[in-house]
Structure 1
Amino acid sequence: MKILRIVGVLGAAALGLTSCTASSVPAEVTAEQTAPEQTPAIDLLPLAALPDYQLGGSYDPGADVQIVVRDRLNPPDPDRYSICYVNGFQTQPTELDFWPANTLLTNEAGPVADPDWPDEVLLDTSTAEKRAQIRAVLEPWIQGCATSGYSAVEFDNLDSYTRSDGALSKTDNMELAVDLVAFAHAQGLAAGQKNAAEDAAELKPQAGFDFAVSEECAAYDECSAYTGVYGDQVIDIEYTDQLPRSFASMCADESAPASMILRDRDLVTPTEDAYHFERCA
């Protein structure tokens, strides 16, 4: 920025002196002024790689695992492609105090919670000002993902507008998604769409998402909505308590993403009895 200000001063001086021409400005200064900013390199998901979804707690995965997803508060796996989980459109449990009151969606009864996750409150994306305040909280978190060594970030609850009783719109959330993806890319992170299969065809070209993370696309017969848009850049997690058919038959389905696993609903660590991790054969 100092170089740009120096060029401005030199240019003004040149206009005031008849003996000075544009060629008088040093070539190296002109090059500095016009050179485009360098965009950090972004690494996409390794193709057909085995993922592990560790939002319930981090642990050392199996030797054949190549992709690990962890909460932003946990460190990445130094030996694997690591995706940082950020709840971009709702508050996380126990983190409500991080959020300014006017970033929360409210109605006459108070803050509007996700009916399936009542300890998560919807963020109010309805105006440009509120979206800017949301970004002021999220952007340091995203930057922290990059600084700690993550390769990518996934933004959860893109479809929060469907749970807002009309207070939010798809356009509101899309506007925020565009800004979050752009910021992630500027930090050198690939950016992932989380769920919202019905919006995939819009989210990838409009927001610029690089990959998708789906929960239960096989159970809900919507995997092709992701793979048709993202190709091999799709991770899917199925859950043991929601299996309309065998996991083996899900794996055999031609629309199933290559990177698909079966996990326990609470995503607990291997030290707990409820832990389950299964890959396609």
Structure 2
Amino acid sequence: MTVRRALPLLAATALLLTGCAGQSPPPHDPPVGPRLPPVGGQLDYQLGGAYDPPDGVEIVVRDRAAASDDELYSVCYVNGFQTQPGELDAWPDDLLLRDDGEPVIDPDWPDEVILDTRKAAEIAKIVGPWIRDCASDGFDAVEFDNLDTYTRTDGALSRDDALNLATLLVDTAHDVGLAAGQKNAAEDASLLHTRAGFDFAVVEECAAYEECSAYTEVYGDHVLAIEYTDNLPRPWDEVCADPDTPASVVLRDRDLVTPDDPAYVFETCE
């Protein structure tokens, strides 16, 4: 009796399995990558202090210590390869590049010490929480400054050192859903995109130095450009009309001051 009852159950099970085998598995949504800045979106670059952006702005870049803008695509600035002004004490001595025992200071930024990127994993352990804070604070992306610091160390640091650290930082950004922006370093754009995984570029003075195409050839329309009034190569309307100029470009004062400062400048292309 037990056997006779089991046979129909086995047959039904076989039919069920046969039917399932003949069905296609339910489709899965493809993986969704980080959201990139809107193509051609009007840009404001606010590293000198956060403020309500002018009308029409779609993309805003702010320091990691500032709040994101929930209404706009917000990019979080992180200085990943040098110390930030006022934050030297936050870094262990052994992670600072040294020459004859003394910390190596960036020649262009006397209040920033160069990090020893040969110790990429240790640096990433410190910068990683900053990146995660950018995500939890509502930013959509992060830009990493001073990728080209190695070029200012007389050979003490190498491009590979920078790439190793950049890869760790980009991976951390992607892990928390942030797009990763390459900052400057035109000569390394292709490697930073293909090897380190950067998604877009944030570039300063590419018109002034005639290198905008070095970025657009790698990132296409995903280039955010800033020019400065004290180094404008030609009238602003001519910069805007140049086909090499990225669509998302803004003219700012060098110190990136806030609108209440008389030196404030903000212009975009019409």
Query: Structure 2 length normalisation: TM-score?
Result: 0.87
Tell me the alpha carbon deviations over residues 40-64 of structure 1, each in whole angstroms, 9 at most, x when there is no partner. 7411110100010000000000120
1:241 aligned counterpart, secondary structure: helix
Uncovered stretches (5+) of structure 1, i.e. residues with no partner = 1-37
**Residue equivalent to 1:122:** 114
Matching residue of 1:252: 241
Name the counterpart of 1:44: 36
Q: CA–CA distance in 1 between the matches of 2:62 and 2:32?
A: 22
Alignment of 1:206-221 (within 5 A): 206-221=195-210
CA contact (8 A) 1:124 1:168 kept: yes
Tell me the number of residue pairs that the alignment of Structure 1 and Structure 2 aligns: 241
Q: 1:148 to 1:40 in 2, by over 3 A?
A: farther
Deviation (angstroms), 1:39: 6.9
Structure-2 residue corresponding to 1:27:
none
RMSD: 1.2
State the AA in 1 paired with 2:106: D
Relative distance call for 1:173 and 1:144 in structure 2 (3 A) is: same
Quote the Cα distance in structure 1 between the aligned partners of 2:58 and 2:168: 29
User: C-alpha separation between the residues in 2 aligned to 1:109 and 1:100?
Assistant: 14
Pick from 89, 102, 108: which aligns with 1:97?
89
Percent identical residues: 62
- List structure 1 segments (4+ residues) > 6 angstroms apart after TM superposition: none
Where do 5+ consecutive residues of structure 2 fail to align? 1-29
- SS of 1:56's partner is coil
Query: Which runs of structure 2 are paired with 1:43-192 in the superposition (5 Å)?
Result: 43-108=35-100, 110-126=102-118, 130-192=119-181
Q: Is the 8 A contact 2:207 2:233 kept in 1?
A: no
Q: Identify the match of residue 197 of structure 1 among 162, 171, 186.
A: 186
Give 1 or 2 for the bigger CA radius of gyration: 2
Tell me the secondary structure at the aligned position of residue 207 of structure 1: coil
- What displacement does 1:244 show? 2.0
- CA-to-aligned-CA distance 1:219-263 (integer Å, 9 cap, x gap): 000000000100000000000000121111111111110000100
What does the per-residue CA deviation read over 1:104-163, in whole Å, with 9 as the maximum and x for residues that have no partner? 00101611111010101100012xxx2121111100000000001000000000000001
**d(CA) in 1 for partners of 2:146, 2:51:** 25
In terms of mean alpha carbon deviation, does 239-248 or 224-233 score higher?
239-248
What is the aligned partner in structure 1 of residue 213 from structure 2? Answer: 224
The 1:113–1:59 alpha-carbon spacing in structure 2 relative to 1, beyond 3 Å, is: same
2:9 corresponding residue in structure 1: none
